[in-house]
Amino acid sequence: MEEIKMVDLNGQYERIKREVDEAIQKVLDSTAFIKGPDVKAFELALASYLDAGTVISCANGTDALQIAMMALELKPGDEVITTPFTFVATVEVLKLLGLKPVFVDIEPGTFNIDIDKLKIKISSRTKAIVPVHLFGQCANMERLSAFASEYGLYIIEDAAQSLGCNYRFSDASVRKSGTIGTIGCTSFFPSKNLGAFGDGGALFTNNPILAAKLQALVNHGMIQRYHYDYVGVNSRLDTLQAAILNVKLKHLDEYNRARQSAAEFYDNALGELKDITIPSRSKFSDHIFHQYTLRVLGGKRDELKNHLEKSSVPAMIYYPVPLHLQKAYADLGYKIGDFPIAEQACHEVLSLPMHTELSEEQLYFITERIIEFVN
Ligand SMILES: *Cc1c(COP(=O)(O)O)cnc(C)c1O
């Protein structure tokens, strides 16, 4: 059996190597390293795949979030609601812009924002909500959208882990994750469901005025060569990355299906085990399993992780410490017990190997090691 990896980028590359190498060589030959034709081509292809008005590429997912906040002209002191159980980037950009992160606890099943706990967090300074579609499954966007229109709030979707995920509204309409709110943000970090061979990110919006502004902001606020209407940033997607992403985008649905079938194997093998909770599925959203995350009950999570590692099965804790208890964010004034569901998740979650190249033999081996641990 081949070595089990948490993420197998090599196996995925091998399958499309010829096509990717040709695309890279073409960029090298053209030397159009910045704003080459592949960048526009990728933005258009992704917009068409997502059925999004406009896609604006940028240098990484963290920048995408920051640029979204800048485009909406959020001002220092404005409050932005999100959860403390996410990757740090979501909150980091708020602090960098002088905005105030206001946390809401998560749902125990989906790990996404608990909308029942949102209302009391709204103040006169609240300007936006950032739902993070964690681990590949959308937050309840229907209720969130209703909420945002009632209170006049922007929604900035953090779709870094959910690119390609479908969300179903109660009227049966279906939208892709990231295209429902005011602005959607995603990341092409190599291990994401659509990964580049380096950093990359993108913003989506259906609003043409915002789209034009985002387009300017990613490129120094420039609207026409050497004419600047905004204070912007330098955050462009390299042509090389765009060329690679153009090849890989054609495979995104197939990649997400491969993750789903690995998840199904895990579900079937682990669904009935004592002290193990398999990921729950939202009624409204597909799950594209950026991560396959168990809860291990009874305080045995770290023990199970060690047990797996002894058999060379990697497993990761996303995330071990919630953001409200991180030193860098201590000035927000939160304490232990403020977000009990997120805190409990940090003690119980364990993500299993998840990528597009897992074989049945490997999945069998992984699940057998878990079964022997609980028995
Ligand atoms: C990866 C990730 C980001 C940041 O993306 P980068 O491209 O690494 O900057 C933001 N939010 C979430 C939830 C992520 O998983």
**Residue 118 confidence (pLDDT):** 95
- 239-249 vs 252-270: helix crossing angle, rounded to 10: 60
Name the pLDDT band for 159 (thresholds 50, 70, 90). very high
Q: Is residue 3 part of a domain?
A: no
**Residue 270 confidence (pLDDT):** 98
Q: Is residue 4 part of a domain?
A: no
Half-sphere exposure of 95 (CA within 13 A, CB side): 12
Q: Is residue 2 part of a domain?
A: no
> Residue 266 sits in which domain range?
252-374
Domain boundary (249, 267, 300) is at 249
Distance 86 CA to ligand 1 centre (A): 9
Distance 118 CA to ligand 1 centre (A): 23
Distance 133 CA to ligand 1 centre (A): 11
Distance 160 CA to ligand 1 centre (A): 5
Give the pTM: 0.97
- Residue with the smallest CA separation from ligand 1 atom 2 is 160
Domain tally for the chain? 2
Of all residues in the chain, what percent carry a pLDDT higher than 90?
100
Q: Is residue 122 part of a domain?
A: yes
The predicted model gives 262-267 an average pLDDT of 98
The predicted model gives 161-190 an average pLDDT of 98
Phi and psi of 52, rounded to 5°? -105, 150
> What totals of helices (H) and strands (E) does the chain contain, helices first?
12, 14
Q: How confident is the prediction for the chain on average, in pLDDT?
A: 97
* In a shared domain, residues 103 and 236: yes
Distance 187 CA to ligand 1 centre (A): 6
Q: Is residue 67 part of a domain?
A: yes
Distance 224 CA to ligand 1 centre (A): 30
* In a shared domain, residues 213 and 257: no
Specify the amino acid at residue 75: K
* In a shared domain, residues 342 and 278: yes
Convert the pLDDT of each residue in 120-148 to its tens digit.
999 999 999 999 999 999 999 999 999 99
Pocket probe for ligand 1: among 187, 188, 293, the residue whose CB has the most ligand atoms within 8 Å is: 187
The residue to which tokens 């060329």 are assigned: 243
Name the pLDDT band for 184 (thresholds 50, 70, 90). very high
Q: Is residue 121 part of a domain?
A: yes
Position in ligand 1 atom list of the atom nearest CA 134: 13
CA distance 10 to 339: 39
135 within 8 A of 350, measured Cβ to Cβ:
no
Pocket probe for ligand 1: among 62, 85, 203, the residue whose CB has the most ligand atoms within 8 Å is: 62
Domain boundary (249, 281, 298) is at 249
Domain boundary (215, 249, 283) is at 249
Ligand 1: lining residues by beta carbon, under 6 Å: 60-62, 86-87, 89-90, 132, 158, 160-161, 187, 189, 199, 201
Q: Where would I find the beta strands (DSSP E) of the chain? A: 54-58, 79-82, 100-103, 126-129, 154-158, 166-168, 174-176, 183-187, 201-205, 222-224, 227-228, 276-277, 292-296, 349-352
* In a shared domain, residues 65 and 164: yes
* In a shared domain, residues 200 and 221: yes
